Amino acid sequence: MKKICSLLLVISLLFIMITTNVFADDVMLSNAPYLGVVGITNGFSKSDYVEGATGTMNMDGESVDVRVIYIDTPNTVDGVLGFEILKELSGPKLINITYTFSSLSATRLAPATAKYNCHSYAWYSQSELNTIWINDPSAFYSDGSYCEVSTPKVGDIICYFDDKGTATTSDDSNEHSGVVTAVSSGISNGLCGNSDLVTVTSKWGYGGLYSHNGYVCPYTSYYSTGKADYVKYYRLHSVNYTDLGLLEGHRGICHGCGYYVEEGHDWSEMASFYMCRKCGHKSSHIPVAPNNIPEDILLKIQQKATLNEFAIDVDENTVLCYIDGQYYMVKGHTTDNALSYIKSASVVK
């Protein structure tokens, strides 16, 4: 019985190797599955994806049921189109891709699955429960959530781009994303940027999750399946805000990439004052945009008021005032004593 089982196992392995065309040569992966953007074949129009709509996704000739979902970036709600995978690929196809990639010098960390892809793993979730497929992650680094950096470090996201040969890199396609897990010193081979100087964890299409040298993956143009010929690195903006003691705003610096900004406060209304969500600055009054002021309830301050100073009675505890060309909101005062407070503060800072 043991001999029969062993014979069957050998026959099965030979069949898999023949049908998947696994080569000893690391460069040739001619029968490997297509690893890039997968197509939607039924249920949607590509120009009009509706949240919750269902359809099928074509993965190398096999249909997978999917549902449209929109993913938030740190800066944009529903900024990224994604597809929730509702059905796994068949076993033979997953076995096929696993053996196809076995010739590469990479360590498989998790099995093949259609549940998520490289962009989803790198940008959205590294959880083993992730079931989202993302075709285009560009919103993450185009809306200011992430910044491009020239020198990678552990935790950065590496993206592999295909140079389309046009005058602008905005036409180049992001073929692959991964997470940098180690950085080496030395001289790069320069064949796909400096990707050979980093170690990367990335998901290979509906194949497995792999740890690999940044250059040794089927997305680089060195391999027959790949198109990418340069890389970029991205790092999450981590801005620390400093309270400058000014009503007008604060300063923010990202210590990861050097991003610098001076901007107005992000006010949150508390019980009896306002506080900036970012730097913690507190004030009993805040600047108010003039276009929010209802002109029909302007009340001019009469006693000891300079020209063009106005107060607006909002409710019994809040008064808007106009001082030196700027609108302010004052809290914690009744209408009467708010007017006295405004008169005594010729310039509110």
pLDDT along the chain (349 residues), means of 10: 46 36 29 43 55 87 91 91 93 91 92 96 96 94 90 96 80 93 94 96 96 94 87 92 89 82 86 91 72 42 40 54 58 48 38
pLDDT of residue 37: 45
CA distance 120 to 103: 25
CA distance 180 to 122: 10
All residues at 6 or more sequence positions from 17 whose CB lies less than 8 Å from its CB, including other chains: 99
CB 144 within 8 A of CB 202: no
Helices (H) and strands (E) in the chain, counts: 5, 24
CA distances from 6 to 52, 95, 231, 305 (A): 48, 19, 45, 99
pLDDT of residue 315: 53
The DSSP bridge pattern shows strands 230-236 and 157-162 to be antiparallel
pLDDT of residue 338: 45
Query: Two tokens at 28?
Result: 């040739």
pLDDT of residue 288: 55
The residues spanned by each domain of the chain are 16-236, 239-344
Considering the entire predicted model, what is its pTM?
A: 0.68
pLDDT of residue 11: 39
pLDDT of residue 129: 94
Closest among 236, 156, 235, 146 to 200, alpha carbons compared: 156
- 217-256 exposure pattern, b = at least 16 Cβ within 10 A, e = fewer: bbbbbbbebbbbbbbbbbbbbebebeeeeebebbbbebeb
pLDDT of residue 160: 97
CA distance 318 to 307: 22
CB 4 within 8 A of CB 20: no
